[in-house]
Amino acid sequence: MGFYVAQLLTGLANASSLFLIACGLSIIFGVTRIVNFAHGSFYMVGAYLAYTIVTTLDGGIFGFWFGVVVAAVIVGLLGLLVEVTILRRIYHAPELFQLVATFGVVLIIQDAALAIWGAEDLLGPRAPGLDRAVRIMGEPIPEYDLALILIGPLVLAGIWLVFHRTRWGVLVRAATQDREMVGALGVNQAWLFSAAFVLGAALAGLGGALQIPREAVSLQMDLSVIGDAFVVVVIGGMGSVAGAFVAAVLISVLNAFAILIFPQISIVLPFIVMAIVLIVRPYGLFGKEGSEHGAPSEPEQPLRLLSSRATIVVMALVFALAASPAVVSDFTTILLVDVMVATLFAVSLHFMMGLGGMVSFGHAAYFGVGAYAAAMAVKFAGLPMIPAMLIGPLGAAAAALFFGWFCVRLSGVYLAMLTLAAAQILWGVTFQWQDFTGGDDGILGVWPAKWASSDRVYFYIAFVLCVGGIWFLRRVAHSPFGYGLRGIRDSDVRAEAIGMDVKFHQWMGFALAGGFAGLAGVVFAFSKGSVFPDVLGIGQSVDGLIMVLLGGIHALAGPIFGAGVFVLIEDWVSRLDYWRFIFGAIILVVVLLAPDGVAGGVDRLLRAVGLRREERA
């Protein structure tokens, strides 16, 4: 009995930590409608700052708590800096832009932390006065855990009081319901947003600072916590602080007991809980209908077929690509295969997001399933390359059919989060299931057939598959099926009213996008000769998002530019020290200067030099 109470208390202590970071995220989303990827970075910086302040002061009980609070305040100021310099300029941009911009902040903070605090993990001090364990029903419970169990509800009560008993709180709640109206009633939204962002950032900093007696401070803290924090916010309902608390308790306590039965489950458990909750309650436990959408964006422009001149340019580029192995070095040939893989991946993601209106934070799942299915077909079934290349996309499409069935029942941010959950579940299974997938060691020796083993021959295989895939998806975009997808994106109600089976249509679009992401994964696997769980990870999904965004989501050609630019920049930058910082800065520059992406920028350039005529209303 005592053992189970101890597990429960550990779960509740974890719940408090999780709640502190998630509630700030929820507040920020509720008011500004920004999905803040950098929230994990605020958490990490809070931990580092608290470590530095507490160890420098070395001032006993007072020094510890003073350090924790000061760290939270400084992180709040950091949040203000980010809000005023970056986010304030892009509140009206599509939500994906905001997401990528905050990811740019993640990269910059990561390298800044590396420069300031170094790569070594820092073991924090214990909390003075709370550094022992007390026995409860015979089991030792750390005193600090008990303090955390108290702090979580105290913070919840404090936030509740601020939101219900102060004018500022009432304005914030009003703004989560109708921002424009709050502005029309004389409230300066800009400052309201800044204040909400500062509060959210400070709470994340507090969460990180309070974590130092419990775990080592490391550079991995940011992305390791952000997935769980997202899940908590989504389960609770975007924008609901009380919901975040309930969800944090639910996940942490479930986890504390589930690991007794199935130790490996903690990686995927939050995502499984989220998937179940979202299927039963599509807006989360305490969320409201309509809470799933980010900032309203401009209506989409219709897609046009290429003009004959543009077709000639595109054909010329394709022929140049086809002829390139004869001219360029082997190294460049390999790099071009990477570009083609990335392009097909980005085009399939764009097909889903730009045409289908379904934002995916977990598109890597299908890329990875394709890669793994092909690799396992070669390694375990002993199949030759060509049949394995068939199995990959089919496996990916099957996975997309399975997860897509759940995902298309949701919309907006909730859909995006469920795609992330699906990807994390697949990643977790791949990572854990050592015997079947090789786990962390991956699957090695996935080489092309002998006749295709030269770089040049493989280039042409990749060329046929990738360019063919891109052509096919483009063809579908201009087919009646594509019209249907775009119609649903623009107004699902109207599409339904004219007799379209909206969910089925989206489901098929999801599966098609997944299948082609799988094809990209297959080409990738055989070009590298191995697959690792990374191909299913958040990083790979975000890479895809960045490519689509760099290229511009509104243009069909966008992902092609985006993927090309992305791979070339990555290839160049990743050789440098502090490449994350540079890469993050590039992302921010693009987002702030060319909010319509590289393709939009090229488009404007063409107009400026008169190659394309101005559209008139």
Partner 1 sequence: MLEVKDLTARYGRAQILNGVSLKVGENEVVALLGRNGAGKTTTMKCIMGLVDQKTGEITYDGQSLMRKAPHMICRAGIGYVPEERRIFPDLTVLENLEVGRRPRREGAPEWQLEHLFELFPNLAERQGNLGKQLSGGEQQMLTIARTLMGNPKVVLLDEPSEGIAPVIVEQMARVIKELKAEGLSVLLSEQNLHFARAVSDRACIIEKGTLRYEGGFDDLDAHPEISQKYLAV
Positions touching partner 1 (CB under 8 A) are 167, 170-171, 173-174, 177-178, 180-189, 288, 298-299, 617
Return the residue matching tokens 């179940």. Answer: 276
173 vs 409 by CB, closer to partner 1: 173
288 vs 503 by CB, closer to partner 1: 288
The torsion defined by the Cα of 353, 356, 361 and 362, in degrees rounded to 10, comes to: -120
- Compute the least distance from the CB of residue 279 to partner 1, in Å: 25
42 vs 286 by CB, closer to partner 1: 286
Please give the single-letter amino acid code of residue 106: V
For strands 133-136 and 443-444, give the pairing: unpaired
Return the residue matching tokens 């939050």. Answer: 270
- Compute the least distance from the CB of residue 298 to partner 1, in Å: 7
Q: How does DSSP assign 148-202, residue by residue? A: HHHHHHHHHHHHHHHHHHSHHHHHHHHHHH-HHHHHHTT--HHHHHHHHHHHHHH
Both tokens of residue 609?
A: 């030099």
- Compute the least distance from the CB of residue 243 to partner 1, in Å: 13
> Among candidates 447, 429, 445, which has minimal Cα distance to 437?
429
- Compute the least distance from the CB of residue 187 to partner 1, in Å: 6
* DSSP alpha helix (H) spans, 269-411: 269-280, 308-323, 330-350, 364-379, 385-407
- Compute the least distance from the CB of residue 238 to partner 1, in Å: 14
Return the residue matching tokens 């997202």. Answer: 230
Is 510:408 a contact under the CB 8 Å cutoff? yes
Is 104:585 a contact under the CB 8 Å cutoff? yes
215 vs 490 by CB, closer to partner 1: 490
58 vs 178 by CB, closer to partner 1: 178
170 vs 464 by CB, closer to partner 1: 170
> Residue 416: what are its φ and ψ, rounded to 5°?
-60, -40
129 vs 183 by CB, closer to partner 1: 183
Both tokens of residue 148?
A: 């955390």
- Compute the least distance from the CB of residue 190 to partner 1, in Å: 8
In the three-class reduction of DSSP (H, G, I as helix; E, B as strand; rest coil), residue 443 is classed as strand
8 vs 187 by CB, closer to partner 1: 187
Q: How many CB atoms lie within 10 A of CB 527?
A: 20
Is 555:599 a contact under the CB 8 Å cutoff? yes
Both tokens of residue 240?
A: 């609901």
Task: Return d(Cα 287, Cα 285) in angstroms, integer.
Answer: 6
214 vs 288 by CB, closer to partner 1: 288
